[in-house]
Amino acid sequence: MAHQDVATRVAGIVEGIVAPLGMELVDVEYKREGRQMVLRLFLDREGGITLDDCAEVSRELSEILDVEDFIGDRYTLEVSSPGLNRPLRKESDYDRFRGRLVKIRTFELLADEAGNRRKTFLGDLEGLHDGVVVIRLREGQMARIPLEKIAKANLEFEL
């Protein structure tokens, strides 16, 4: 089974485990690291997750994966929090984290409202409107970035 297919199938299983616990699945990675495959889950919830939360999800998922047995490779399962620089993956993330500092990288050069062309945008998230992410850049001007142009978006930690 292809790596992306494994990640997609695992995501479906994990959603069923974490939703009743008030958690959300932020991301699933299934990739080779060195000579070993790693299945890595990132979970979050309002107020953060604990080590016990990670252990509980890991136990439940391990039991299901042992029964379903669709991953052909040997792998290591890791369950953790996305950390301070949490990725923004879902449309709802752009509303949930309104007002927070974000860094957005685009696939191509885009202009902000001052006409500056760039691929990296750093500023305060204003939200998502009709498929366009709006941020107030650190320099003061606004930028409007269509979701389909975003390669990567993360919360940024402020001191």
> Which run of H or E residues covers position 17?
helix 3-18
Distances (CA, A) of 97 to 29, 38, 93, 107, 141: 23, 29, 6, 22, 19
pTM of the predicted structure, to 2 decimals: 0.74
pLDDT of residue 4: 79
Cα within 13 Å of Cα(21), Cβ side = 21
CA distance 101 to 117: 20
Same domain assignment for residues 70 and 11: yes
Same domain assignment for residues 117 and 141: yes
Is-contact 156 121, C-beta < 8 A?
Answer: no
Same domain assignment for residues 17 and 76: yes
The amino acid sitting at 61 is: L
Q: What is the mean pLDDT of residues 116-124?
A: 96
User: What are 56-81's pLDDT values in tens digits?
Assistant: 999 999 999 999 989 988 999 999 99
Same domain assignment for residues 48 and 116: no
CA distance 4 to 47: 30
CATH number at residue 95: 2.30.30.520
CATH number at residue 62: 3.30.300.70
Domain range spanning residue 55? 3-80
User: What are 134-156's pLDDT values in tens digits?
Assistant: 999 999 999 999 999 999 999 99
Same domain assignment for residues 11 and 71: yes
pLDDT of residue 159: 66
What letters, b where the CB count within 10 A reaches 16 and e where it falls short, cover 144-158?
Answer: ebeeeebeebbbeee
What total of structural domains would you count in the chain? Answer: 2
Q: What is the DSSP string of 57-84?
A: HHHHHHHHHHHH----S-EEEEEE---T
Same domain assignment for residues 53 and 117: no
Tell whether 85 is covered by a domain: no
Same domain assignment for residues 128 and 61: no
The amino acid sitting at 134 is: V
Same domain assignment for residues 55 and 124: no
Indicate whether 130 pLDDT > 90.
yes
User: What are 3-54's pLDDT values in tens digits?
Assistant: 778 899 999 999 999 999 999 999 999 999 999 999 999 999 988 899 999 9
Q: Which of 80, 114, 141 is the last residue of a domain?
A: 80
